[in-house]
Structure 1
Amino acid sequence: MHVDTGDLATLLKLQHIDLEILRANKRLEELPQRKAILEARTKRKAVEQKRAQLDALRADVERRLSNVGEEDAALAEKQRRAQAEIDEARGDYRSVEARSKELDGFARRRDELEARLSAIGEELEKVEGVQAQVARMLSDLDAEERAATESFVREGGALKDALFRNEAERASLASFLPKELLASYEKIAARTGGVAVGRLQGESCGACRMAIEGGRLIDMKGQGNVGVCPQCGRLLVLE
């Protein structure tokens, strides 16, 4: 086929712009900040699950602590009443003995409760310590994600600005090309990863590097300044 020299120059420039757009999109997709943000969010999800477990555990510990405290308070009131009854008995041996036994039972039970309170208190301190660690981890992850996001916005924003300019220039260039030539170029570009046009280098396609048989090459040149590579199917500039 024969392509106007001006259209050919526009087509080659369009391909250059398209390759720049492809590279910019690839860089945008491969920005390390994107991975850092995703990793921070994944870690945060796991840590937040741990925090929920700890919250439930702390609620259970505090419930047990409250129950023991309430029982101890009730026993303390029973002790007070039993002692008051002993004081009022005034020599009633049997009554004093019975109340004294009750007091001994209350005291033993309160000793047991004191040990339980101590053990539960230690358990609560451990839970609170781990909760503090989890809170620091979440704070650190928030800071990591915030820093990665700010960096992504800066670097990604610059790439997006470049993409916007290139896409605008591409649209302008495409508007000057004959529709059939543009359609053929875009179809081949989609199939070949963006490189739809190559230049003849000696007797080889500059895109796929494959040699073209001499007679076939003569026929192609006789039909115009642009042909189709018989090996890769790309448009081939023959001049």
Structure 2
Amino acid sequence: MSVGSTLLKLQELDLSLERDRKALAEMPEIAELAKKRRAYQKLKADATKLYAQRKDLETYLKELDDQEMDANDDIRIAQRNVDSSDYRSVQQLELELSDLAKKLERIAFDRKDYEAKLAELKKKEDYLAEYTAKFEASVIADTKRAREKAGSLKDAIDASEHQRASLLNTLDAGTRSSYEAAAKRFRGLGVERLEGNVPTVCRMTLQASSLDALKHAGDVAECPYCHRILILSEDGEE
């Protein structure tokens, strides 16, 4: 491969490397995954809150069951201990039974309210669990695709870097230095071809005198206008 062809290939590789490195660093999938992971953490936090609320309701219902059991025990004890021949005892029993009946009514009312809330909460938990499972599956799938894409880009970068190093080794130190300087100065476009009398990057038409001077420059010269490396010949194998 001629020096000119090598320089053009180097520039092509460097531009490709820049694109691939930028694509890897700015993968939209990575930002999207970060958003999804934050959303997933919120779903888990919401599930924890619902679980805590459900356990509270179940505790309240258990307490109501205990209160109901105690009230029924009190009713049986009061009825067993009353002297039916004693008017005052009967009156006292009626008062106690009335209070206990009201207590049981309150327990029944509270239970109905708590059970309704518990049923609604369980629906929310079931829906959230199903949604979270689907969301988690989508995050896993997106993560796999992002890793595959990143891996593909990394492989391409590694291959280009290896090829770049091989090409650089075919150039003498002066040419390597000139190429690196031009690439840095012109942001990756430090090499151009001469097509007819027009360089392919700066597009400034060369005068006859400039063309005549370039005839003695060999395969590689410097553009008299933009001062990029100007490839005059791309003959294949040397």
- Range of TM-score over shorter length: 0.7 to 0.9
- Structure 1 segments of 4 or more deviating over 6 A? none
Where 1:210 maps in the other structure, the secondary structure is coil
Where 1:207 maps in the other structure, the secondary structure is coil
Q: Does 1:139 align with 2:133?
A: yes
Kept after mapping to 2: 8 A contact 1:24/1:159: yes
Structure 1 unaligned residues grouped into runs of 5+ = none
Q: Aligned letter for 1:17? A: L
Where 2:194 maps in the other structure, the secondary structure is strand
Paired position in structure 2 for 1:95: 89
Q: Equivalents in 2 of 1:118, 1:178: separation in Å?
A: 90
Q: Equivalents in 2 of 1:136, 1:15: separation in Å?
A: 52
Q: Equivalents in 1 of 2:232, 2:216: separation in Å?
A: 10
Kept after mapping to 2: 8 A contact 1:226/1:237: yes
State TM-score, norm by structure 2. 0.77
Kept after mapping to 2: 8 A contact 1:37/1:148: no
For residue 8 of structure 2, the aligned residue among 12, 34, 42 is 12
Paired position in structure 1 for 2:113: 119
Paired position in structure 2 for 1:178: 172
Q: Equivalents in 2 of 1:47, 1:127: separation in Å?
A: 20
- The CA deviation string for residues 67-124 of structure 1, in whole angstroms up to 9 with x for no partner, is 3532452353244234323332222222232232222222222222222222222212
Q: Aligned letter for 2:91? A: E
Q: Does 1:204 align with 2:225?
A: no
Q: Aligned letter for 2:113? A: A
* Percent of residue pairs bearing the same amino acid type: 30
RMSD over equivalenced CA pairs, Å: 3.2
Q: Equivalents in 1 of 2:94, 2:213: separation in Å?
A: 123
Q: Map 1:26-41; keep pairs closer than 5 Å.
A: 28=24, 35-36=28-29, 38-41=31-34
Kept after mapping to 1: 8 A contact 2:221/2:232: yes
- The CA deviation string for residues 190-223 of structure 1, in whole angstroms up to 9 with x for no partner, is 3434322101233332113233455556556666
The 3 A distance-change label for structure 1 pair 203 and 7 is closer
Paired position in structure 1 for 2:69: 76
For residue 163 of structure 1, the aligned residue among 149, 157, 161 is 157
**Could you tell me how far 1:159 is from its partner in structure 2?**
4.0
The 3 A distance-change label for structure 1 pair 105 and 183 is farther
Q: Equivalents in 2 of 1:210, 1:94: separation in Å?
A: 122
Kept after mapping to 1: 8 A contact 2:219/2:232: yes
Kept after mapping to 1: 8 A contact 2:29/2:146: no
The 3 A distance-change label for structure 1 pair 99 and 79 is farther
Paired position in structure 1 for 2:42: 49
**Could you tell me how far 1:39 is from its partner in structure 2?**
2.9
Q: Does 1:194 align with 2:188?
A: yes
Once the two structures are overlaid, the 10-residue window that deviates more, 62-71 or 110-119, is 62-71
Structure 2 unaligned residues grouped into runs of 5+ = 234-238
Q: Equivalents in 1 of 2:21, 2:3: separation in Å?
A: 27
Where 1:198 maps in the other structure, the secondary structure is strand
The 3 A distance-change label for structure 1 pair 123 and 151 is same
Once the two structures are overlaid, the 10-residue window that deviates more, 166-175 or 90-99, is 90-99
The 3 A distance-change label for structure 1 pair 63 and 41 is same
**Could you tell me how far 1:27 is from its partner in structure 2?**
5.3
Once the two structures are overlaid, the 10-residue window that deviates more, 178-187 or 77-86, is 77-86
Figure out how many residues of one structure are paired with residues of the other and give that number: 232
